[in-house]
Amino acid sequence: MSHTVYVGLGSNLDNPIQQIKQALPALNQMPQTTLLTHSALYHSAPLGPPQPDYINAVAVLSTQLSPLALLSQLQTIETQQGRIRSAQQRWGPRTLDLDILLYDDRQSSDPVLTLPHPGLYQRTFVLYPLYECAPQLRLPNGQRLQDLIAACPPQGLAKLSVVVS
């Protein structure tokens, strides 16, 4: 059975635009997974400690992988692109961050993977690229994505005119 998954991409180290451009085809090469579409790239200010600005996007996947198997594949891609995980530094700079935002309409609070992603509802750098991919999306809690967009001004988020294939 195939599942629709929305993945958030972010990078603010080692040529962030190139990191995102490299990650998109890697998503399509995961087993039992197809990249359906993706948003444009967006420039955003970082959350957390002082650090470089981020480049963000959202990808839409069709996968037969379970949520945890998909998470493992995403973390492998992050590692291949130079991501170093540090338990001490949450929201720190990174070469690549791949977050499962939505996995079908699944809701769970598993300690390893919370679905939907807990930051989904208020982060402009997630909401706007997600809206670009699925403007009619209704979230698992019944809320319409367009209503979240209407209540969440872009706050410095800038869509880039970089071509991503």
97 classed as catalytic = yes
Residue in the block written with tokens 């993977």: 113
Alpha-carbon separation of residue 80 from 40, 60, 71, 123 (angstroms):
23, 21, 14, 26
Whole-number Å distance between alpha carbons of 82 and 135: 33
Give 5: exposed, middle or buried? Use CB within 10 Å, 0-12, 13-18, 19+.
Answer: buried
Among 94, 106, 144, 147, the one annotated catalytic: 94
Question: Does the active-site annotation cover 110?
Answer: no
90 is catalytic: no
106: Cβ contacts below 8 Å, ≥ 6 apart: 67, 115, 140
Catalytic annotation, pick one of 97, 110, 123, 147 = 97
* From 53, 83, 85, 110, active-site residue: 83
Query: Does residue 14 have an active-site annotation?
Result: no
Element (H, E) at 30: none
Q: Kindly name the residue from 99, 123, 144, 147 that is annotated as catalytic.
A: 99
Query: Catalytic residue numbers?
Result: 83, 94, 97, 99
